[in-house]
Amino acid sequence: MLKTRLKREGSQLTTDCSQLKMQAADGKFYITDAANTEQLLRLIQSIPSPKAEPFKLWLAQVGCERIEETEDPELCFDRAMETYMAKGYTKEWINQRLKSIEVRKELTDEWEKRGVKKGMDFAVLTDIITKAWSGKSVKQYKKHKDLERKPSRPHDQSGIGFKHAGSGNHP
């Protein structure tokens, strides 16, 4: 019903959503509407239901926080610390993580000054550095530490941030 209403209103969401074959509970594959995170959040905004209101309030809160962080970037660090603490990381681990982000930024800034291109060039250099200190390639090290590749932030497409799949108390 929502899809029909959105089409009638001329919403771009209905044309942006893809259809993929997905497995249902019965084990069969059916063509299903699929959307990325941004599209899903836009869809939630368009739902005229009291049940969607908590999500809309959350979206407004997150949007407000993002605007505040644009005005005062230090808030990003405060919120990162709060998030890591809520996930059970120690203060020592959090401080080390924030320092490693700072060092990585300094390093990548230097690479850019010297003409290194983001993407594959950064990946090659990261692999060389990882081998130098760990004796393993990035891929081998991630497997060894049971790490999954995941950007630290939605806008970080470098794939350098890692999420630990274990207890969360170890770097």
The ranges assigned to domains in the chain are 1-13+35-71, 89-164
C-alpha distances in Å from residue 118, one per residue of 106, 110, 112, 140: 14, 12, 8, 22
Average pLDDT, the chain: 79
With 90 as the cut, is the pLDDT of residue 130 above it?
Answer: no
With 90 as the cut, is the pLDDT of residue 26 above it?
Answer: yes
Put residue 76 in one of left, alpha, beta given phi > 0 → left and psi -120 to 50 → alpha.
Answer: alpha
Q: According to the model, what pLDDT value does residue 167 have? A: 39
pLDDT tens digit string along 34-90? 878 888 888 888 888 899 999 999 999 999 999 999 999 999 888 988 999 999 999
Lowest mean pLDDT across 29-33, 95-99, 131-135, 162-166: 162-166
